[in-house]
Amino acid sequence: MDRSSPAHAPVRAPIRTLGAEHRPAILKHLLALDERDRFLRFGYAATDEHIRRYVDGLRFDCDEVFGIFNWRLQLIAMAHLAYMVQGRGRHSAEFGVSVSRHARGRGYGEQLFARAVRHARNHGVTVIVIHALSENAAMLSIARKGGATVVREGPESQAHLELPPADFESSVTELLEEQAARSQYWVKLGRHRLRQWWRRLAGWSARLARRRRAA
């Protein structure tokens, strides 16, 4: 959370899975992160070019990407769950997240983590790993609150969360969450298109009125 900004009460956000069609929105969201946030998110001073390559390389067919859109259909938060297969069939996944500065402190980071954990669990993942800088108090707080064990190694920290196997509740909850988020997305898309259409109509009638006055 940007501690200098007023505290917000947690807002329940509709979190949906993203696909290749959302690459432009993901790119826009990540490019808007400032230098420090890019460092915290990627662990290095990611340039625009690094971010472009990262977004181009997202594997929507095997990894999972989650997002939160605002009413203007701008992506204001996203998380990436990258699967890794370790020895003896043990599956793990790495979690990375970013929330637009103006939307921080509303619990979005925490909710994205909870969503990713549920998804990972339902897909047979047994361990979630987070690599974060030790100075990243917000990320480490989210990990600890989610039940992860954090091991500090100097300037870097690793969080590990062991996941229980999926059960009926985790499967149904995820299904309902995704359905609800998709429905809200379509409502937002409808409103967005209606607004665009209304603006075009207003411009067109203003032009028509000007032409009439000039005639």
Ligand X SMILES: CC(C)(COP(=O)(O)OP(=O)(O)OC[C@H]1O[C@@H](n2cnc3c(N)ncnc32)[C@H](O)[C@@H]1OP(=O)(O)O)[C@@H](O)C(=O)NCCC(=O)NCCS
Q: Does 132 sit near ligand X (CB under 6 A)?
A: yes
Closest contact distance (angstroms) between CB of 171 and ligand X is: 24
Judge whether 117 and 135 are in contact, CB under 8 Å.
Answer: no
The residue (of 54 and 203) whose beta carbon lies closer to ligand X is 54
Q: Which of 28, 163, 14 is nearest to 95 (CA)?
A: 163
Q: Does 26 sit near ligand X (CB under 6 A)?
A: no
The residue (of 42 and 192) whose beta carbon lies closer to ligand X is 42
Q: Count of CB atoms within 10 A of residue 99's CB? A: 28
Segment lying near ligand X (by CB under 6 A), choices 13-21, 34-42, 68-76, 171-179: 34-42
Report the site for ligand X in 73-102 (rule: CB under 6 A).
Answer: 96-99
Q: Does 40 sit near ligand X (CB under 6 A)?
A: yes
Q: Which of 81, 65, 5 is nearest to 29 (CA)?
A: 65
* Residue 8, CA atoms < 13 Å, CB-side half-sphere: 14
Closest contact distance (angstroms) between CB of 92 and ligand X is: 16
Q: Does 1 sit near ligand X (CB under 6 A)?
A: yes
Reported in sequence order, the residue ranges of 87-137 that DSSP labels E, i.e. its strands, are: 91-99, 127-133
Q: What's the rounded Cα separation, in Å, for the pair 119 and 171?
A: 8
Q: What's the rounded Cα separation, in Å, for the pair 190 and 213?
A: 35
The residue (of 12 and 59) whose beta carbon lies closer to ligand X is 12
Residues 13, 65, 138, 181: which binds ligand X (CB under 6 A)? 138
Q: What's the rounded Cα separation, in Å, for the pair 210 and 195?
A: 22
Q: Does 108 sit near ligand X (CB under 6 A)?
A: yes
Residues that bind ligand X (CB under 6 A): 1, 3, 37, 40-41, 96-99, 104-110, 132, 136-139, 141-142
